[in-house]
């Protein structure tokens, strides 16, 4: 059976940058096994499948990496919402608001058109998970093939998808880092999160950071842009007592060494010292459309 798909690049204003995404805007009838096979076939960091709504006023969405289904991810959420607007699957005029029903729950997304570009912003309300037990800086240095002195701090955080964050001493260290699979298996593969987001830069409000991300367990060697990690990062940092004020912002640049520069804006909002919501936003560029022939063996009977 033929299914339409669209390809976009997320967190970039123009094609062939940012993070690639394949979107099936009507995936009715495809089994979970079929979705996983299709995601592996595209072999992008994620592929999304839009399904019939389970709740009035929402759009059901499932997200797959080449290796597994994930409950939430940033660039697939924003990219899918932009595709639905681009291809007129939602009504109205700019700005468009929709609620995506993902495994993690409901995610609000606002899409607007500015100077011919489509911009998406997702917002998650609720608690940012920040469990203890993160590896030592020495252990993370070994995972990243760096010297221990090049890792400033390590911590866990997540908003639907968990990450291990490592702040490095310099942009050069970020570029030089390389996952040591043996060290990753020993020191991180069975931890609360084995997804590694490593970065350097200015962590003050309005600061800019330079980042990379690797998720070996999900089949993602390196991700050009990781919206869910940026949401967790800005939320975790905003939770710290030393960051005063009700709004905390970071600009994140990722994917540069891969030749797929991505620009992500992340915002955390606080009330009475507690984070109440996190948002990430960026542009989405249209690339291509086509049809994929899905065999009956992976369709729901």
Give the start-to-end residue ranges of the domains of the chain: 2-123+285-298, 137-281
User: What are the phi and psi torsion angles at 77 (to 5°)?
Assistant: -65, -50
Where does residue 68 fall: left (phi above 0), alpha (psi -120 to 50 degrees), or beta otherwise?
Answer: beta
State yes or no: pLDDT of 6 exceeds 90. Answer: yes
Give the CA distances from residue 180 to residues 36, 129, 174, in Å, rounded to whole numbers and listed in that order.
Answer: 27, 27, 14
pTM of the shown model: 0.92
Nearest to 109 by CA among 84, 85, 77: 77
pLDDT tens figures, 185-231: 999 999 999 999 999 999 999 999 999 999 999 889 999 999 999 99
Give the CA distances from residue 45 to residues 5, 42, 169, 228, 230, in Å, rounded to whole numbers and listed in that order.
Answer: 16, 9, 27, 13, 16
> Residue-wise over 105-136: b if at least 16 C-beta within 10 A, else e?
eebbbbbbeeeeebbbbbbbeeebbbeeebbe
pLDDT grade for 33, boundaries at 50, 70 and 90: very high
pLDDT grade for 298, boundaries at 50, 70 and 90: very high
Sign of torsion over alpha carbons 157, 67, 225, 60: negative
- Predicted pLDDT of residue 241: 67
Which residues have a catalytic role annotated?
A: 46
State yes or no: pLDDT of 264 exceeds 90. Answer: yes
Sign of torsion over alpha carbons 301, 81, 292, 42: negative
Give dist(CA 162, CA 86) in Å, integer: 30
pLDDT tens figures, 116-143: 899 999 999 878 999 999 999 999 999 9
CATH of domain 2-123+285-298: 3.10.310.10
Give dist(CA 227, CA 216) in Å, integer: 17
pLDDT tens figures, 67-94: 999 999 999 999 999 999 999 888 877 7
Report CA 182 to chain centroid distance, whole Å.
26
CATH of domain 137-281: 3.10.310.10
- Predicted pLDDT of residue 273: 84
């Amino acid at each position: 059976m033929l299914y339409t798909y669209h390809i976009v690049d997320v967190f970039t204003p123009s094609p062939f940058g940012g993070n690639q995404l394949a979107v099936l805007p009507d995936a009715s009838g495809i089994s979970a096994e079929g979705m996983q096979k299709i995601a592996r076939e595209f072999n992008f960091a994620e592929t999304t499948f839009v399904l019939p709504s389970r709740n009035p006023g929402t759009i059901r969405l499932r997200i797959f990496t080449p290796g597994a289904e994930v409950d939430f991810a940033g660039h697939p959420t924003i990219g899918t919402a932009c595709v639905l607007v681009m291809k007129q699957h939602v009504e109205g005029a700019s700005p468009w608001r929709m609620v995506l029903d993902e495994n993690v729950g409901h995610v609000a997304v606002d899409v607007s058109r500015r100077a011919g570009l489509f911009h998406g912003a997702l917002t998650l309300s609720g608690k940012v998970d920040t469990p203890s037990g993160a590896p030592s800086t020495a252990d993370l240095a070994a995972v990243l093939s760096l010297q221990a002195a090049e890792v400033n701090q390590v911590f866990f955080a997540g908003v639907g998808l968990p990450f291990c964050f490592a702040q490095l001493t310099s942009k050069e260290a970020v570029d030089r880092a390389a996952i040591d699979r043996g060290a990753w298996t020993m020191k991180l593969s069975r931890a609360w999160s084995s997804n590694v987001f490593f970065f350097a830069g200015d962590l003050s409000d309005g600061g800019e950071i330079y980042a990379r991300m690797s998720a070996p367990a999900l089949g993602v060697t390196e991700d050009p842009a990781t919206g869910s990690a940026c949401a967790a990062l800005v939320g975790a940092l905003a939770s710290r007592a030393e960051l005063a004020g009700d709004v905390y912002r970071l600009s994140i640049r990722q994917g540069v060494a891969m030749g797929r520069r991505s620009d992500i804006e992340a915002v955390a909002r606080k009330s009475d010292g507690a984070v109440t919501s996190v948002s990430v936003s960026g542009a989405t560029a249209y690339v291509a459309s086509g049809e994929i022939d899905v065999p009956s063996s992976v369709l729901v009977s």
